[in-house]
Amino acid sequence: MFPSSRPVKRRPWDRVTLAQLQKIKVWREAHRVSHPLERRLWEAVLTLWMMGWVGWLPAWGCGVSWAYPLCLLGILSPGIYVYWRINAHAAGQLRCDWLPILDQPGP
């Protein structure tokens, strides 16, 4: 239904670079009116990402071992979300307009 712009070779644990996150930020700010749900989803993903990075040191310092998997999940959340969107787009379940910008060179 939706043509894929590239073959799906990404794994859920593949990292999303800061340059790619910046490109997505520019895209979602430019499309904030036309794609409000997408903007909110990315804000939630980035909030989980920050919580994972900020929370691992206090969890380790206080010996709260049950928080380690939650922090890891938060740290990996952008990659997991991109993986899910790529596969859903390739399967024709939804359209993902920001996928092509991930492959563009430069910041």
pLDDT digits (tens, 9 = 90+) for 28-59: 899 889 989 989 999 999 999 999 999 999 99
> Which of the four pLDDT bands, split at 50, 70 and 90, describes residue 2?
very low
SS3 of residue 82 by DSSP: helix
d(CA 70, CA 54): 12
**How far is 6 from 36, CA to CA, in rounded Å?**
25
Could you tell me the pTM of the whole model? 0.79
**For residue 102, what pLDDT is reported?**
81
